[in-house]
Chains A and B, each alone.
Chain A
Amino acid sequence: MAANDPADTLAGRALPHLGRAPGISAGRGLDWFNLFVANIQTGFGPFVAVYLTTQGWTQTRIGLALSLGTISAMASQVPAGALVDVIHSKAAVAFFSILAFTASALFFALWPTPLFVYLAEALHGFSSCTLGPAIAAMSLMIAGRRALGLRLGRNARFAAIGNALGAALMGACGYYFSNRSVFFLTAALTLVALVPLMPLARLYESSRPEARQRPGPARRGNMIRVLTNRALLSYALLAMLFTLGNAAMLPLAGNVVTKRAAGEGVLLIAAGIVLPQLVAAALSPALGQLAEARGRRLVLFLGFCTLPIRAALFAYVTDPALIILVQALDGIAGASIGIIGPLVTADVAAESGHYNLALGFVGLAIGIGATFSTGLAGWAADGFGSETAFLAMAAVGLAATALVWAVMPETRPR
């Protein structure tokens, strides 16, 4: 299978403008970088609320801090994408984003006071939006258009492994040491993440200058053309719908597990976080290959299909252990979205000089979906019970899946 050794083959043709073949290490570097970034992001998730609670924060203030992070991330998606577009060294962007994570983690660990926590949230929201596009852009530089699907499949595999390891590592750290130690660990991991970034520093976007040398008005017209592209708009809408039905699913399912689990629900919920990542790690390369061989639409459809199935099963499955098994389906969806998003965006915008802007636009759509998901699902679960909430999510997922077939054009280059 080509999926077993694509780093070398991908990287071999990767960087013709560099003369030598340092691409092998660049490909491997990107593998590890994906792993560590996913690792780092674990601590900044819902765990922040737990940590701040142990620091004597009131729930209102915690809500404020989390909202600030969300708003910061949403507001900076598109501007951050535009910024990454004009910076030639994407490794520099990644470097500074990781340093911002270091600062955020240290702020949390050392000074859990409002000022520094708000700062950390804003900083983290900001730099997440520069880091994601930078990774996608480096992938494009390493693999080129033709093999990007395979490269993104690898990215998704290593990110999934990073997520799984992160959850296990941070969970153990919080349990055996202290909640505060989780952020010290995160800060330490950010410094480790800078190591695989070193071979990537040689990636330099000087080989495709034609798009950049266009004068201002033409460039702007180009940008409008990218952002009004049917494939990109369709994908953004679909990803938003999917996230609307998906984002609140794990919290809600976890809530049900906590309520029904016989012994400690903690281990079951940990399994519910780790298991989908293992599924994603196993399937990602194959999905990337499928996207290159059979098209983006098919892979997207496969991923989306699992959402209505999973939501409907959640509505009727009551055994906590079975709930965790159903949650494993999330791995397929997560992998396919993680691969197809940057891939379709590259199909539309890779040559335009606005790749990262377009990624930011898609990221904003997903962020909107996630924000409304938690609110709507919480409201439905409170008012009508969790079964109804799950069925509503299944309906949204079904609509999204049908729309993939109806509106999403195939963007695979021939």
Chain B
Amino acid sequence: MNARSRHLPHRLRPATAAALLTFWTLPFGALAHGALAQSGVDTAPSAAETRMPEPSYLEPLNANESTGVLGSKVVGPNGDDFGLITDVIVDRDGRPRAAVIDFGGFLGVGSRKVAVDWNLLQFDPSQRDHKAVLALGRREIQGAPEYRADAASAAMVGPPAVGASTGADGGK
């Protein structure tokens, strides 16, 4: 082995190349399994759909009138950047109660998750960048308690006028 490597000092030996290749392709193999399983799940219903007749109760979702909200940028009333919507909290009836906003931070360091009253958010689906405007100042969300999905009770930041009482009721 060593004699051989001395003959080919500046090149990758075949065994080395094979070892490297195996090593770096391992994750592909491992994940391809998961991918196949996943794509199987994904394609099954769509294949069924193509065979079935189109449902009669289809309603149009106009892109200019509705939008997804996960990952939407949240800005303040004067346009400064607050963060991203990471989750929507709904009540028993599925009506949105609060939005969880990942607030502040730099390159993912130091951000805090804060829940705000859903009614304080305004969406404009006709805008291309899907920004949500929050009717609160930076100060009002900054001091809010961190939102934890697994906590027994959580608090959300309410409208400024009744914010104090909402915070006290919702807290622990």
Residue ranges of A at the interface with B (Cβ–Cβ < 8 Å): 42, 45-50, 53-59, 72, 80, 83, 86-89, 92-93, 96, 100, 114-115, 118-119, 122-123, 126-127, 130, 167, 170-171, 174, 201-202, 204, 206, 209, 212-213, 250-251, 253-255, 257-261, 264-267, 269-270, 272-273, 382
Report how many A-B pairs have Cβ atoms within 8 Å: 147
CB <8 Å contact, B107 and A83: no
12 contacts between A and B (CB under 8 A): A47-B107, A50-B105, A53-B71, A55-B71, A83-B20, A83-B23, A115-B34, A171-B107, A204-B9, A254-B105, A265-B104, A269-B105
List of A residues within 8 angstroms of B16 by Cβ: 86-89, 92
| Segment among B52-60, B109-117, B119-127, B161-169 that sits at the interface with chain A | B109-117
Known: A122-B31, A206-B5, A259-B143. A273 touches B109 (CB 8 A): yes
Q: Secondary structure of the B side of the interface?
A: mixed
CB <8 Å contact, B27 and A174: no
How extensive is the interface on chain B, given as a class?
A: 35 or more
Contact of B108 among A48, A100, A122, A123 (CB under 8 A): A48
CB <8 Å contact, B26 and A126: yes
Residue ranges of B at the interface with A (Cβ–Cβ < 8 Å): 2, 5-6, 9-10, 12-13, 16, 19-20, 23-24, 26-28, 30-31, 34-35, 38, 68, 70-71, 73, 80, 84, 86-87, 102-112, 138, 142-143, 146, 148-149, 151
CB <8 Å contact, B148 and A59: no
Question: Which residue on A lies nearest to B30, using beta carbons?
Answer: A122
Among A87, A261, A272, find the residue whose CB has the most chain B CB atoms closer than 10 A. Answer: A87
Contacts A201-B10, A266-B106, A273-B106 known; 14 new A-B pairs at CB < 8 A:
A45-B109, A47-B107, A50-B105, A57-B70, A87-B16, A87-B20, A92-B16, A119-B31, A174-B107, A255-B110, A264-B80, A269-B109, A272-B109, A272-B110
List of A residues within 8 angstroms of B9 by Cβ: 204, 206
CB <8 Å contact, B84 and A87: no
Question: Which residue on B lies nearest to A58, using beta carbons?
Answer: B70
CB <8 Å contact, A47 and B110: no
Contact of A126 among B24, B104, B109 (CB under 8 A): B24
Question: Which residue on B lies nearest to A87, using beta carbons?
Answer: B16
Q: How far is the CA of A59 from the CA of B110 in the complex (A)?
A: 16
Among B2, B6, B68, B110, find the residue whose CB has the most chain A CB atoms closer than 10 A. Answer: B110
CB <8 Å contact, B35 and A115: yes
